[in-house]
Amino acid sequence: MPPMLLRAAALALTLAMSPMAIAASPEPLQLQQAEALTYWKPVEGTFRPRLNADPGRVQFAEEVTVAYSVNKRGRTYDVKVVDAKPSTAFSGWALNAVKAMRFTATDSNTERTPIRSEMTARWGGGK
């Protein structure tokens, strides 16, 4: 095969594969919490996230909104605190809890579509 034709074929193949590569790793769907639960449901069980602070010495945020993504394996990633009340209080407990969560795909999510959503957690400890 002549080198010029070989280069043209390689370029055509590269361009043809680019959309497939993009489609293989889609951005997670942005969903409200109620809709997110139609794709992924939390796995029940006991987990103990690290607190990294003593609730007797540090004021814990009473309510924390956390943004998170769930990958095809049901694991959370890109977990961030969006809001905390009070804002100056320790919100790491919620961040660590969401990082520790695992999800299972619902029956309607057979393709295991990655999602991005938010949830609000309330601190019940120390009361």
Domain with residue 100: its CATH number is 3.30.2420.10
Q: Residue 40 domain-assigned?
A: yes
Backbone angles phi, psi at 13, to 5 degrees: -65, -40
Domain boundaries, position 92: 27-122
| pLDDT at position 1 over 90 | no
Average pLDDT over residues 82-92: 94
* Number of domains forming the structure of the chain: 1
| pLDDT at position 4 over 90 | no
Contact 101, 47 (CB under 8 A): yes
Contact 114, 29 (CB under 8 A): yes
Q: Residue 2 domain-assigned?
A: no
Q: Residue 35 domain-assigned?
A: yes
Q: Which residue has the higher pLDDT, 1 or 90?
A: 90
Q: Residue 90 domain-assigned?
A: yes
Q: Residue 54 domain-assigned?
A: yes
Q: Residue 78 domain-assigned?
A: yes
pLDDT digits (tens, 9 = 90+) for 31-77: 999 999 999 999 987 666 666 777 778 888 999 999 999 999 999 99
Closest by Cα among 109, 114, 25 to 78 = 114
Q: Residue 88 domain-assigned?
A: yes
